[in-house]
Amino acid sequence: MLSNTEENYLKALLYLTTDEAGKKEAGTNDLAAHLGLKPATVNDMLKRLKEKAYVSYKKYGKITLTRAGRDIAVFVMRKHRLWETFLCEVLAFSWDEVHEVAEQLEHIQSDKLTERLDKFLNYPDYDPHGDPIPKPNGKMPPRATTLLSSVAIQQSCTVAAVKDTSSVFLQYLEQLSIGIGTKIRVMEKISFDGSVILQVGKEKITVSEKFANSLLVD
């Protein structure tokens, strides 16, 4: 059985190599930066994970997850997202509060717990941030890929997911009454700085380019 620490390395590797993070290859430094550790530390751990056949790489080369490693990482992600859903929907946490707690809960080892929790939540496909929850077989529901910034003028869309899960962003969304499922119409784009004017309910609001690049829509 893997330690929490080992699980965290695999999860980080999954994240870094799944182009959520922008790129597809991961090196020692990327991992170290992502985990807040020193490259030397990561190097040591990678040796052990390679030994145990959870990762694959050659000296000075890029690191990839093996099938076994990816399966574990996906399962940890499944637990993380189920717990986030539980915290929001059942215990009324707000979506900016769930992450840290889910970071702990994702390491609880009990298949029965995971499956019962899934059932209790009625087998959700997406977590409170709109991220897909892997199924027990490792398959993932489709992830929204359209950025709000790429929606044409006068088009309407529905918020499907957030690309940025930082508290500041989530609280800002809260303040604007925007959440998963909110209908948005793009009214105007300012070419000067990429700002976008949106219709949200009866309100007309202006948001930055950075904002429009942080929301995924259907």
Partner DNA sequence: TATAAAAGTTAGATTAATCTAACTTTTATT
Partner DNA sequence: AATAAAAGTTAGATTAATCTAACTTTTATA
SS (H, E, C) 128-186: CCCCECCCCCCCCCCCCCEEHHHCCCCCEEEEEEECCCCHHHHHHHHHCCCCCCCEEEE
Residue selected from 117, 160, 161, 170 as contacting a second copy according to rule CB under 8 A = 117
Instruction: Identify the sign of the CA torsion 108, 97, 14, 9.
Output: negative
Nearest Cα to 206, choosing from 214, 198, 194, 215? 198
Q: In the complex with a second copy, which residue's Cβ is closer, 53 or 90?
A: 90
Kindly state whether residue 59 participates in binding a second copy, applying the rule CB under 8 A. no
Q: In the complex with a second copy, which residue's Cβ is closer, 38 or 116?
A: 116
Kindly state whether residue 106 participates in binding DNA, applying the rule CB under 7 A. no
Q: How far is the CB of 94 from a second copy (least distance, A)?
A: 10
Q: How far is the CB of 46 from DNA (least distance, A)?
A: 6
Q: In the complex with a second copy, which residue's Cβ is closer, 2 or 21?
A: 2
SS (H, E, C) 73-139: HHHHHHHHHHHHHHHHHCCCCCCCCHHHHHHHHCCCCCHHHHHHHHHHCCCCCECCCCCECCCCCCC
Kindly state whether residue 62 participates in binding DNA, applying the rule CB under 7 A. yes
Window 2 to 41, contacts with DNA (CB under 7 A): 3, 5-6, 27-30, 36-41
Identity of residue 191: S
Kindly state whether residue 56 participates in binding DNA, applying the rule CB under 7 A. no
Beta-sheet pairing, 156-162 with 183-189: antiparallel
Q: How far is the CB of 122 from a second copy (least distance, A)?
A: 13
Binding track, positions 68-87, relative to a second copy; x by CB under 8 A? -------------------x
Binding site residues, a second copy, CB under 8 A = 87, 90-93, 97, 100-101, 104-105, 108-110, 112-113, 116-117, 120
